[in-house]
Structure 1
Amino acid sequence: MTDLLEYLYYPFTLPLMQRAILAALATGIVCALLSCFLVLKGWSLMGDAISHAVLPGIVLAFLAGIPIIIGAFASGLLCSVATGYIKENSRIKEDTVMGIVFSGMFAFGLVLFSKVDTSQHLNHILFGSVLGTSYAELEQIILIAGIVSAIVIIKRRDLLLYCFDPVQAKVVGLPVKLLHYGLLCILALTIVSSLKTAGVILVIAMLIAPGIIAFSLTKRFERMLLIAVIVSMFSTVIGTLISFYLDASTSACIVILQATIFLGVQIYQFIVRQSVRN
């Protein structure tokens, strides 16, 4: 029994695992909070679009010699603003616009990456590399996560009304356009802070899974936020430990665990519905 406890406790004694777990926790909490609003707003594809659109910004920032986070944020913000502008000035639906814009920017980023000699590894950008998190990167992740989490918590009621009914939000005097682009900005910032943990491919799962799990379990928004955060914290810590023992991709283990929890919730609810009918 003692040997088993020591075996399970061992990862927590390693500095790289301590940094990885803290980074995954910070990312998981902010993604969980934001996921509740994305689920209610129906913006899962928007998160997918911005996460893919940051790639050219990463490469261009490397070429310009500026922090990668600045280029990634600018690229993601450009994608969201361009999507909104094209939608408002054409007859094309928003999901179609997002599909064209994010796939085009992602393809442009891949071309740039293939032509530039960079120290960045493409797999680390696409899938994350949380086990390689440095102290400076950890501080950056925690800072961004803290700022975004504070904004979301403070403005949660305004954002909730905007997500449910933008027309009603405008009637009661809320700055709808500011809330719209503000939500896009913090979404882009969250995705940028999550690159080290999940990468541009799997971050969308961390931005959707906690919210949809919580949405399936409760009808109260405050409780939905709490459940989403608990689910995300559990899955990020356990997923990181599983990846350590299996020597597998950390972000993939986290996402698989969240998908498993989602399936478990759906099966449980199906069983409950069947028992009620009978």
Structure 2
Amino acid sequence: MLRALATAVVASVVCGVLSCWLVLIGWSLMGDAVSHAVLPGVVLAYVAGAPFALGAVLFGFLAVGLIGLVRDTSRIKEDAAIGIVFTTLFAAGLVLISVTPSQTDLNHIIFGNLLGVSSADLAQVAVLAALTLAVLLFKRRDFTLYAFDPTHAHAVGLNPRLLGAALLGLLALTAVVALQAVGVVLVVAMLIIPGSTAYLLTDRFSRMLLIAPALAAGCAVAGIYASYYLDTATGPMVVLAQGTVFALAYLFSPRQGVVGRAVGARKRRRAAAA
């Protein structure tokens, strides 16, 4: 339980920070694509005895390259290209799992096995998370400018293509971190929900970078405790807790919530009538 809590909190924090940029840029589908496309890379790295991160990064960049190739050399639009590439690579990963001889059940890569995390897995998660957070925080101003206005970023001497590639590489590393917690299927939730929730709660990006990881870490702890007492799957409970918090923000956020906007509109109508 202690290793599960530590792994879930670390993975949630790094996913929460990165999700702010993914939501701001509009890369939700790209996060889904990369998180699923890394599966064959992870399996091949396991077969070769290499670190999971190496295979994940390689296939993450491969997925992005293939999406761009299909989009630029055919009539297929980007959303369709993303769907084609990530489903094909994900299926290839499933096939590799089915034919790979292993003394362990590789299905935990797909569905997660938070309570089965070993000390070595926790160390790998901590190292990858520290590396990802260090780069994100060190380059946060450049990434933020790229997210808001790539043209202006180019005008001040930055390379938007390089910044985008760096974010995609960090996305692949983060997917590996979250794999240990919730598996490939639910990684996209951890990469999108915290940033989306924070986006409903504040208009300042600097506050998003604090709110998103804090909410994600709190949901990780709450989800693990709930799964223990309710005797349910641990990883899905973490994501379910995040989804619940998003629903509350969607309904009751002071400025962006559905209920808050309805109450505000009613007050304005009463004031106008008075």
Question: For residue 250 of structure 2, what is the aligned residue in structure 1?
Answer: 266
Cα displacement string for residues 105-156 of structure 1 (whole angstroms, at most 9, x for unaligned residues):
1111112222222234243111211111111111110111111111111211
**Corresponding residue for residue 152 of structure 2:** 168
- Alignment equivalent of 2:161, drawn from 165, 169, 177: 177
Count, aligned residues: 262
TM-score w.r.t. the length of structure 1 is: 0.90
Match of 1:223 among 187, 203, 207: 207
Q: Is the 8 A contact 1:36 1:224 kept in 2?
A: yes
Tell me if the contact between 1:62 and 1:118 (Cα under 8 Å) persists in the aligned partners. Answer: no
Give the aligned partner of residue 107 of structure 1: 91
1:216 Cα deviation from its structure 2 partner: 0.5
Amino acid at match of 1:193: V
1:123, 1:242 → 2: CA distance? 23
TM-aligned CA deviation for residue 219 of structure 1: 0.6
Q: Would you say the 8 A contact 1:127–1:201 is kept in 2?
A: yes
Question: Quick check: 1:53 aligned with 2:41?
Answer: no
Distance 2:149 2:75 in 1: 22
Q: State the shift of 1:104 in Å.
A: 0.7
Question: What percentage of aligned pairs have identical amino acids?
Answer: 48
Which secondary structure state, in structure 1, belongs to the residue aligned with residue 147 of structure 2? Answer: helix
Give the structure 2 partner of residue 149 of structure 1: 133
**Using the alignment, how far apart are the partners of 1:174 and 1:74 within structure 2?**
24
Question: Which residues of 2 match residues 201-240 of structure 1 at below 5 A?
Answer: 201-240=185-224
Once the two structures are superposed, residues 41-78 of structure 1 have per-residue CA deviations (whole angstroms, 9 ceiling, x without a partner) of: 11111111111112211222233233333223322221
2:13 to 22, 29, 38: 29
Q: Secondary structure at the match of 1:194?
A: helix
For 1:144, the aligned partner's letter is L
Q: 1:123 to 1:244 in 2, by over 3 A?
A: farther
What does residue 276 of structure 1 align with?
264
RMSD: 1.5
TM-score (normalizing by structure 2): 0.91
Q: Is the 8 A contact 2:20 2:195 kept in 1?
A: yes
Aligned to 2:24: 40
Partners of 1:54 and 1:71 within 8 A in 2: yes
Report the CA distance between 1:81 and its aligned residue: 2.5
Higher mean alpha-carbon deviation, 62-71 vs 203-212, is at 62-71
In structure 1, distance between residues paired with 2:73 and 2:152: 23
Q: How far apart in 2 are the matches of 1:224 and 1:65?
A: 38
Q: Equivalent residue for 1:118?
A: 102
Q: Which one is further off, 212-221 or 159-168?
A: 159-168
CA offset at residue 91 of structure 1? 4.0
Residue of structure 2 in register with 1:75 after alignment? 59
Q: Does 1:189 align with 2:140?
A: no
Q: Which amino acid aligns with 1:48?
A: D
Q: Which residue of 2 aligns with 1:132?
A: 116
Secondary structure at the aligned position of 1:173 is classed as coil
Please say which of residues 116-125 and 33-42 is displaced more in the overlay: 116-125
Q: Kindly indicate whether residue 230 of structure 2 is the aligned counterpart of residue 246 of structure 1.
A: yes
C-alpha displacement of 1:245: 1.9
